[in-house]
Structure 1
Amino acid sequence: MRLLLIRHAETRGNTQHRMLGQLDELLSPHGVLQAQLLGQFLSQQSWRPTHLYSSPLQRTVITLEMLVAGYPEGDDFPLIQTDEALLEIDNGIFQGLTWQEAQEQHPELCEQLMNSQEVIPIPGGETLSDCCDRTYRFIHTLYHTHQSSDRVWVVTHGGILQYLIAAILDTPMIWGINIGNTALFEFEVALPPASQSKPNPQLCRIHRFNECPHLARDQNNSSGMGKFRCIDGE
């Protein structure tokens, strides 16, 4: 099974470095351009999806719709399946705030988070275990409901992406990767037989990891778009 994980395109909240969490936002004008460029790039690749998954939030669904729109008109694409397992991490009382605003409103908690080596839960938010459980279930449901020939796109969020990657790599470690908007992670997974729960580790491959090839300048492009970069955000 080919599995392409994609972070949604930029929103206004991303440019303001807000911890959006599960708040709903539309794409920024620059985010629309990012999604268009990625759609054009993917349409030129050697494989196209047989299944489409997205977080229910608008910034992911719209990104995925724009990626599909980048393919030649008339292509028959599968319907988008939304899954709450792909929602961004619930940031609790930090949701919608910048880090500076969080420090102003919750100074003691922010100081603990910066200085403690322990995992400190955010009041009202999801725990590490919550995020691990739902992403593990989602990935292993894919393993047992898809065929080896399937090509799956998953559009989701920068925070929860790190847990999805940990589930694919079968590691308890969450590495804190800086994932830009529309970044790509492409995996080839040797699906396990019905009698086993995990893929064959010797037959799995990573083809892309946190890449934005569609945002690099094309030297032969005369459109004047210039160079675009992945923008880190929340």
Structure 2
Amino acid sequence: MTDALTDNILVLVRHGESEWNRLNLFTGWRNPDLTEKGVIEARVAGRMIRDNGAKFDIAFTSVLKRAQHTLDIILSELDQPDVPIVRDAALNERDYGELSGLNKDEARKKWGEAQVRDWRRSYDIPPPGGESLKDTLARVRPYYDSAIWPQITQSKNVIIVAHGNSLRSLIMILEGLSGDEILQRELATGAPILYRLGADGRAIDRKDLLPARSLAAPPEDRIV
């Protein structure tokens, strides 16, 4: 185990595998819970964070139970169950609108392969009734600026457990990435990312605690 971290840190974790992740369905704002595998992923994430010496002052998560359940498991593994938790819809997954509840084949039959690919893989094209990644960033950025960053400036260590696309939005902010750059990043379920931040809110150091699972581009047929 490493010595306890003394610098201010921010840890991001995507929730563990959900029931709809297992079925490869567009989930968005729908509210399935974790699978047994997802529970195990959350426990492993907690142990990895613990082994890196992290102690948290405050936690943020979405209003969706797969993220909240993951956070609860992580804090239990860290033996930090009393960390204050802030829950906000600003950290929810991208809203997939009419795609929600469908798998890729069902969506492709309804709208055509090219259209579905554009909705899934573009930065600024939303599905019907839903959000693009650009739209997701538009709600995540002001929430980060108003709620999360002030905690960090008060020398508090922060953990955020959220979703693939709300976390992509945060990574864009922290690392100064473009929409095209962030779309090449896969965020595996239950894989923690540990940041040390500079005075301007940008990352000065990043450590993937499960790097083999979190750096590759997403498979083409996998819904993320």
Bucket of the pairwise TM-score, normalised by the shorter protein: 0.7 to 0.9
1:134 — aligned with what?
139
1:168 — aligned with what?
174
User: Structure 2-normalised TM-score?
Assistant: 0.80
Q: Deviations over 1:122-162 (max 9, x none)?
A: 11001444212112112222223433531100000112211
Are 1:85 and 1:134, in contact at CA under 8 Å, matched by a contact in 2? yes
1:182 — aligned with what?
190
C-alpha RMSD of the superposition: 2.7
Superposition map of 1:21-32 within 5 A: 21-32=28-39
1:112 — aligned with what?
115
1:9 — aligned with what?
16
Q: Deviations over 1:7-32 (max 9, x none)?
A: 00011211221110110011101111
Query: Cα offset for 1:167?
Result: 1.5
2:4 — aligned with what?
none
Are 1:3 and 1:151, in contact at CA under 8 Å, matched by a contact in 2? yes
Distance 1:144 1:28, change over 3 A: same
Distance 1:51 1:214, change over 3 A: farther
Q: Which amino acid aligns with 2:206?
A: H
Are 2:29 and 2:93, in contact at CA under 8 Å, matched by a contact in 1? yes
Gaps of 5+ in 1: 192-197, 216-230
Are 2:123 and 2:179, in contact at CA under 8 Å, matched by a contact in 1? no
Instruction: Specify the SS of the correspondent of 2:179.
Output: coil
Structure 1: how far apart are the matches of 2:175 and 2:143?
Answer: 14
| 1:68 matched to 2:75 | yes
2:87 — aligned with what?
82
Q: Which amino acid aligns with 1:186?
A: L
Structure 1: how far apart are the matches of 2:28 and 2:154?
Answer: 33
- Of Structure 1 and Structure 2, the greater helix share is in 2
Distance 1:140 1:28, change over 3 A: same
Q: Deviations over 1:105-136 (max 9, x none)?
A: 222xx423447989432110014442121121
Q: Which amino acid aligns with 1:205?
A: I
Structure 1: how far apart are the matches of 2:48 and 2:175?
Answer: 26
1:212 — aligned with what?
210
Rg comparison, structure with higher value: 1
Q: Which amino acid aligns with 1:123?
A: P
Are 2:94 and 2:166, in contact at CA under 8 Å, matched by a contact in 1? yes
Q: Which amino acid aligns with 1:102?
A: A
Distance 1:47 1:128, change over 3 A: closer
Structure 2: how far apart are the matches of 1:101 and 1:187?
Answer: 38
Q: Deviations over 1:170-216 (max 9, x none)?
A: 3442422111111122211123xxxxxx44x6xx422324x42698x
User: Structure 1-normalised TM-score?
Assistant: 0.77
Structure 2: how far apart are the matches of 1:119 and 1:113?
Answer: 13
Structure 2: how far apart are the matches of 1:47 and 1:144?
Answer: 19
